[in-house]
Structure 1
Amino acid sequence: MDRRQVFLITLGLWLGTMAAFASIGAASASGMLHPWYLCYVAGVPVSGILLSLVLQAGIRRLETRSLTARWIRLIPLLLVIVVIQAAIDQWFYELMREVFGRKPTGEYMRAVALNVAVYIWVFVIQALIFELIAAMDRAARNARNAEDAREAARAAQIEALRNELNPHMLFNTFNGLSSLVLSGRNAEAEMLLERLSTYMRACLDGADAALVTLAEEIELVEAYLAIESVRFASTPDVRIDCPDDLAEAAVPRLILQPLVENALKYAVHPSRGAASVTVRAARDSGRLRLTVEDTGTGAGAVPPGTGRGLSIVSRRLETLFGADASVNAGRDESGFRVDMLLPLNAVALESTARPH
């Protein structure tokens, strides 16, 4: 919600409060409001609006915290605002009486205490309204982020298919399947066909789930590696280290496969199998660290084509997790390394049931 909308809502709340005060004054004065009281009622919203905007700014500043943590900090601010408004109200009340030649009430502190009892309800109601507005804004923002994440996931899936499932790869895969069948190795052919089917279903799946379990993502990587072993007639040296207690961690769909693909393409295959790739998952200060590193290259520039894959990965993590996720990539003495940090089970998994 923009500042103009917040101001209009605040103005409406205080005009309602002013109308309530005027009604009370009219009832006590038998329907006739004195000029001094009208001036007092007209001046009440000025400080009230300013203090309401301070309260709304405090709620907005703390909106990233939990509801309990937010209100632990808001309650002292709310009490200070109430006391300030109660004191200003009574001071202005006395001033208008004096300006119009009426005697002061002589009960300033007692009147301020009564005003506190009134204004605490006024500002609590406003705070709850501001909380509701902030919650609606967060819900709308989350819905937009979820849709952006789904679009990014679909784009990544299409990109992965375009890069991997090309006619040459399919020709080699089906040629390998044919060779396995002709040589009587039907069990291996069936396993490879199942892996290819699993990989294609995961890439083409129309489900909207942007997140899968880490175990499912690793299964997809293994299916991809089975396809690669047919293409190059050897099993790539890829080591996967995923602790059992992280198997159910939520990760973006197809977040590891593009990085493994780059490592094979630019490190393992050019080295004719002398290099290896390691995929590792670990806890890091309450977050999930995913690492893909190879031993096929030394220090130097980023391999051609790798930058595009890293850009896609970075955009997807930013869309899903914002500032809570990061990607760092670079070369060391042994090869190229990509580190991803993301929240550990911070987002509830959507339905990821796979067809059988």
Structure 2
Amino acid sequence: MGLDQPFFDDKNRAFWILQSIGWSGYFFLRSLSGFANSMGWMWIVHTLLLTATGYSLTLLMASLFRRLIRMRPVLTLILSLSAVLLASSAFSIIETWSYATFIKPDSKPAGVEYMGAILLNFSLLAAWAALYYGINYFLLLEEQIDQREKLEGQASSAQLAMLRYQLNPHFLFNTLNSISTLVLLKQTERANAMLARLSSFLRYTLANEPTAKVTLAQEVETLKLYLEIEKMRFEDRLRPHFRIEAETIGARLPSLLLQPLIENAIKYAVTPSETGADIWITAKREGQAVRIEVADDGTGQASEIAASPSTGVGLANIRDRLSQAYGAAHRFDSKQNDKGGFSVIIEIPFETGEQAR
């Protein structure tokens, strides 16, 4: 295993390492204490037996605790203390017998005398149990936190996908309706051309995940594909203008974020006017942010457009998508512009490919 791998990634391996280190430390310290008190070499045999006993008892306790840890806390506490008390009694009996056998062969312990070391052994095994539960409860908590973060991420992705997909059918309905009209009018060449462009647009957009971010350059290319379709419907009445600063083309933003705004401008500025309307898509860098504006010179009042139920759904979806992607680190405004038309202004953090991952 690499040094960069978390120690508790393999819980079984971590347990055996800690178990071995802990009881090796116990053996070393008790042996050192015995030699310091001139207990002789038989103290090593005695300490080795105690170490093996403690090692074995704690393995049995670990097997039991793995089942107890998922019970109700009160039940876990009662049963764990009972197990520690029982193990401490067994440990004390073995320690007393070993001491009488290897260190003081003349002593003959009997009855309750075998419980002479129970206090020390209970403290030792209780500390081991507390450490076991402390580590495992911590790992369970981390596991639950990771699971919650994963579920929250999945929920956020699902919501973003839902918002993206909610925007697409409106455009598809309008386009297919236009194709149907062209077929009814027997304008088959225009219908075929429009269908081919729709196919290109869908192929381009479906290549991106609904929750993915694309560069502004990619988003502009998508808008141009969309506008080619709409130009077949409105011809010279639809006059789009792109003013994209060069330093913003690598900025990342949620895919298909701007298409509903263009669709909104077409619906409320181009469609009602016999002469059509101009639509401006501008993007410029402002410090650590990118300011994107979609504006038209239609005759509709901004307040009336914003209050429209159809527009409200589109604008609300875009606002929700921005909130999901950037939290409070964005700006979304709509207003009547100085050309008498409607403007939507978006400001998002400037992110490149490295930052947006």
**TM-score (ref. length: structure 1):** 0.54
Equivalent residue for 1:331?
A: 336
Deviations 1:10-60 (A, max 9, x none): x79x979999x9999x989953339xx99xx99xx9xxxxxxxxxxxxxxx
Q: How does 1:308-319 map to 2 (within 5 A)?
A: 308-319=313-324
CA apart distance, 1:144:
1.6
Counterparts of 2:285 and 2:137 in 1: how far apart (Å)?
42
Q: Residue 279 and residue 176 in structure 1: after superposition, are their counterparts in 2 closer, same or farther (change >3 A)?
A: farther
Residue 275 of structure 1 is aligned with which of 274, 277, 284? 277
Equivalent residue for 1:168?
A: 178
Paired amino acid for 1:336: F
Equivalent residue for 1:341?
A: 347
- Contact 1:169–1:231 (CA<8 Å) still a contact in 2? no
Q: Residue 18 and residue 319 in structure 1: after superposition, are their counterparts in 2 closer, same or farther (change >3 A)?
A: farther
CA apart distance, 1:291:
1.7
- Contact 2:268–2:300 (CA<8 Å) still a contact in 1? no
Counterparts of 1:290 and 1:176 in 2: how far apart (Å)?
40
- Contact 1:298–1:336 (CA<8 Å) still a contact in 2? yes
- Contact 2:295–2:337 (CA<8 Å) still a contact in 1? no
Paired amino acid for 1:314: R
Paired amino acid for 1:342: I
Counterparts of 1:234 and 1:174 in 2: how far apart (Å)?
23
Equivalent residue for 1:210?
A: 211
Q: Residue 300 and residue 261 in structure 1: after superposition, are their counterparts in 2 closer, same or farther (change >3 A)?
A: closer
- Contact 2:281–2:294 (CA<8 Å) still a contact in 1? yes
Equivalent residue for 2:20?
A: none
Counterparts of 2:325 and 2:197 in 1: how far apart (Å)?
28
Q: How does 1:1-356 map to 2 (within 5 A)?
A: 31-33=117-119, 133-162=144-173, 164-172=174-182, 178=188, 194-202=196-204, 205=206, 208-211=209-212, 212-234=214-236, 236-273=238-275, 275-297=277-299, 300-303=302-305, 304=308, 305-334=310-339, 335-343=341-349, 344-345=351-352, 346-348=355-357
CA apart distance, 1:126:
7.7
Greater relative contact order (Cα 8 A, min sep 6): structure 1 or 2? Answer: 1
Paired amino acid for 2:315: L
Counterparts of 1:284 and 1:254 in 2: how far apart (Å)?
22
Deviations 1:37-93 (A, max 9, x none): 99xx99xx9xxxxxxxxxxxxxxxxxxxxxxxxxxxxxxxxxxxxxxxxxxxxxxxx
- Contact 1:228–1:235 (CA<8 Å) still a contact in 2? no
CA apart distance, 1:216:
2.4
- Contact 2:334–2:344 (CA<8 Å) still a contact in 1? yes
Paired amino acid for 1:317: L
Counterparts of 2:240 and 2:331 in 1: how far apart (Å)?
24
Deviations 1:140-160 (A, max 9, x none): 211221122122222222232
Q: Residue 289 and residue 30 in structure 1: after superposition, are their counterparts in 2 closer, same or farther (change >3 A)?
A: farther
CA apart distance, 1:279:
1.1
Q: Secondary structure at the match of 1:337?
A: strand
- Contact 1:289–1:342 (CA<8 Å) still a contact in 2? yes
Aligned length: 252
Counterparts of 1:170 and 1:248 in 2: how far apart (Å)?
38
Question: Which entry has the higher C-alpha Rg, 1 or 2?
Answer: 2
CA apart distance, 1:294:
1.4
Equivalent residue for 2:63?
A: none
CA apart distance, 1:278:
1.1
Paired amino acid for 1:330: K
Gaps of 5+ in 1: 1-7, 46-118, 182-188, 349-356
Q: Residue 338 and residue 300 in structure 1: after superposition, are their counterparts in 2 closer, same or farther (change >3 A)?
A: closer
- Contact 1:324–1:342 (CA<8 Å) still a contact in 2? yes
Q: Secondary structure at the match of 1:234?
A: helix
- Contact 1:214–1:246 (CA<8 Å) still a contact in 2? yes
Paired amino acid for 1:32: I
Q: Residue 18 and residue 226 in structure 1: after superposition, are their counterparts in 2 closer, same or farther (change >3 A)?
A: same
CA apart distance, 1:255:
1.6
Counterparts of 2:266 and 2:345 in 1: how far apart (Å)?
17
Q: Residue 32 and residue 340 in structure 1: after superposition, are their counterparts in 2 closer, same or farther (change >3 A)?
A: same
- Contact 1:277–1:295 (CA<8 Å) still a contact in 2? yes
Gaps of 5+ in 2: 1-69, 96-114
Counterparts of 1:161 and 1:245 in 2: how far apart (Å)?
32
- Contact 2:302–2:342 (CA<8 Å) still a contact in 1? no
Q: Residue 333 and residue 247 in structure 1: after superposition, are their counterparts in 2 closer, same or farther (change >3 A)?
A: closer
Paired amino acid for 1:146: S
Paired amino acid for 1:257: Q
CA apart distance, 1:224:
1.8
Counterparts of 1:231 and 1:132 in 2: how far apart (Å)?
55
